[in-house]
Amino acid sequence: MSEQPPPKKLKQGISSSYINYTISKGDKLAVLTELPSSGEFFQNFIAPRKPVKFKLTESIIPLDKFRLGNLESTLHYHHDLQIEKKYQSGFGSGQKRVKFGLGKLIEEVKSGNDEFYLTTQYDFDDPDAKSDEEEDNDEDEEEFGEEEEGDDDDDEEEQGENINFKFSDNFSETSSIDMNNLRDDFEEDFEEDSNTTDSILDEELSLTKSEALVRLKDMYQAPLTNLINAPDILPTIPPCFEKLIPQQINLWMGSSNISSKEFKLDESDKSGLGLGKQLPGDLTGSSSGLHHDHADNLYIVVQGKKRFTLYSPADAFKLYTVGTIYRLYDSGIIDYEVDKNAPHWRHIRDDGAIVEEIIRWKLDGLDDKDSKEKSKLLKQLQWEVKQRNEMKGVKTDLDPPNFSKIPPALLHLDEIDNKDIRNKLETFANEYFPGFLELNSFKVWLEPGDMLYLPAGWFHEVSSFGDDDNHGHIALNYWFIPPNTDNVETCYSDMYWHEDWAKTRRSLELAQNGKIELD
């Protein structure tokens, strides 16, 4: 990944530098039955951006503690959670969330209610949250002043987080960590929460108590927060992944009701056949929808079963994303155009960092002698902010840009016995998504204790199936910063994420030593 060729044009406005692993016809997903060293794992899977399944004799976490019957006593979490509601037979469609406690959610899952799903817990998904668009406008005007008429910047410097942006859209199972929000938005959070008496916990890192609290809660997402002090139950960095910078740990929980509706078509809906996120086949499950993430992912099944259907980042153009693809990096990271399909997107580079935040970080590191470099960076920053401001006020009810418009049913045509229905779906796929049915893919089944490593940018649809006892399904996942070099010892090209991680790591140390009390 360190020596990348010039990006090749896929289509007007789209470029690709991706030369890493792709699925060839006849390929089978690698399966590990023993844990390799972190160096071996990096060289064989992380660097070449190659997914792999772990099927170990012993899980890396105590699974029983995260099963439905033990979850409350393990987590000791007593605040409300943001819960997704099912929409069009699936989750992750940007619908407004509801709020209630962990205990109630567990009861709903135990009862077989498949209408609710626990996913990521970001502030901007909170149904009570207010828009901060006006505040952003004020900040931008304060930084650059009002733009004079005719002051257009014709010099388009090459720019290059996971994701987005101020992601007001909801995330589905394993859906991408919002890296656009993760760094700059939690900085806003602790700036708002801090005051003149906010205590400094580490002078060298300029780490305040309010910032440390935000970092801790972002790393161990609710309701996992109290496990910060229980690394024997949920380690911050799991085995094999010591070379990567950890970013977030999440809990996923829902139910698949055995009495769910029968798979059917609505032929009056010419452009969608009423498919939504229905899944065909004998098993009753729910679908995440096909999408990719902007972070490396380790996914661990605790209860129930999961089926992942995987496509390489190299096939992104034939996977019909909601967003308009701007660039595909060799790391697998996909950057999008800021347009009507993704009006709140912010450009990212190959390790998922937001370009605008990288520019600010570089400016912070300059001294007074670097006036030429400062002028160049300020010009780039103004261009980024101007592009973002041009789309402010544009509202969209579309799915996030990293989601595919392809209905999940088209990924599982082999599950359809009715030849007439299957032929109609094949015709529909070839008309609306030409080329998709010819793509190579992996289908991966995961049972409790199984794990899947999925590099950033790999498209995946996750079908969730409950267990026999109560139809519940539970999983944990780790997100990591994707590397942008293939050097096992220095897999990040600069210190941006290292500096960020230093503050989070110090926050964890302070919490585990009793210096920070979690609420």
* Structural domain spans, the chain: 8-144+161-512
* Residue 393 · residue 133 · CB < 8 Å: yes
Closest CA to 264 of 399, 117, 112, 424: 424
What is the rounded radius of gyration, in angstroms, for the C-alpha atoms of the chain? 23
Higher-confidence position of 280 and 452: 452
Within a 13 Å sphere around the CA of 5, how many CA atoms are in the beta-carbon half?
A: 8
In the structure encoding, which two tokens stand for residue 451, read together?
């794990």
pLDDT in tens, 37-59: 999 999 999 999 999 999 999 99
CA angle 60, 519, 166 (to 5 degrees): 75
Strands 52-54 and 30-32: parallel
Q: Tell me which residue has tokens 């952003």.
A: 136
pLDDT-derived band of residue 160, with 50, 70 and 90 as boundaries?
very low
Residues 6+ apart with CB under 8 A from 382: 144, 153
Distance CA(335)–CA(323), nearest Å, equals 9
Type of residue at 299 = Y
Residue 392: predicted pLDDT: 83
Residue 127: predicted pLDDT: 52
Q: Domain 8-144+161-512 is in which class?
A: mainly beta
Residues 6+ apart with CB under 8 A from 107: none
Distance CA(260)–CA(298), nearest Å, equals 29
Per the document, the length of the chain is 519
Distance CA(459)–CA(331), nearest Å, equals 13
Type of residue at 245 = I
Q: With the CA atoms of 126, 173, 493 and 315 taken in that order, what torsion angle do they form, in degrees rounded to the nearest 10?
A: -130
Angle between the N-to-C axes of helices 133-144 and 371-390, in degrees from 0 to 180, rounded to the nearest 10 = 150
Distance CA(126)–CA(13), nearest Å, equals 35
**474 has a pLDDT exceeding 70:** yes
* Residue 475 · residue 289 · CB < 8 Å: no
Residue 329: predicted pLDDT: 98
**176 has a pLDDT exceeding 50:** no
Closest CA to 321 of 269, 398, 431, 429: 398
pLDDT in tens, 414-463: 999 999 999 999 999 999 999 999 999 999 999 999 999 999 999 999 99
Query: What is the residue-wise DSSP string for 321-340?
Result: BSSPEEEE-TTS-EEE--ST
**164 has a pLDDT exceeding 50:** no
**Most confident region among 114-128, 313-327, 363-377 by mean pLDDT:** 313-327
Q: Tell me which residue has tokens 């005007």.
A: 141
Q: Which of 255-264, 287-296, 382-391 has the lowest mean pLDDT?
A: 255-264
Q: Which of 109-123, 162-176, 199-213, 272-286 has the lowest mean pLDDT?
A: 162-176
**266 has a pLDDT exceeding 70:** yes
State the average pLDDT over residues 148-165. Answer: 38
Distance CA(49)–CA(43), nearest Å, equals 10
pLDDT in tens, 87-144: 555 455 455 778 989 999 999 999 888 888 898 886 645 555 554 444 455 455 555 5
Kindly report the average pLDDT of the chain as a whole number: 85
Give percent of the chain with pLDDT exceeding 90. 65
For residue 114, the Cα-to-chain-centroid distance in whole angstroms is 23
Give percent of the chain with pLDDT exceeding 70. 79
* Residue 343 · residue 391 · CB < 8 Å: yes
* Residue 356 · residue 182 · CB < 8 Å: no
**163 has a pLDDT exceeding 70:** no
pLDDT-derived band of residue 270, with 50, 70 and 90 as boundaries?
confident
State the average pLDDT over residues 16-28. Answer: 95
Distance CA(276)–CA(272), nearest Å, equals 7
**12 has a pLDDT exceeding 70:** no
Closest CA to 407 of 277, 273, 269: 277
Higher-confidence position of 7 and 385: 385
Residue 263: predicted pLDDT: 80
pLDDT-derived band of residue 185, with 50, 70 and 90 as boundaries?
very low
Residue 158: predicted pLDDT: 35
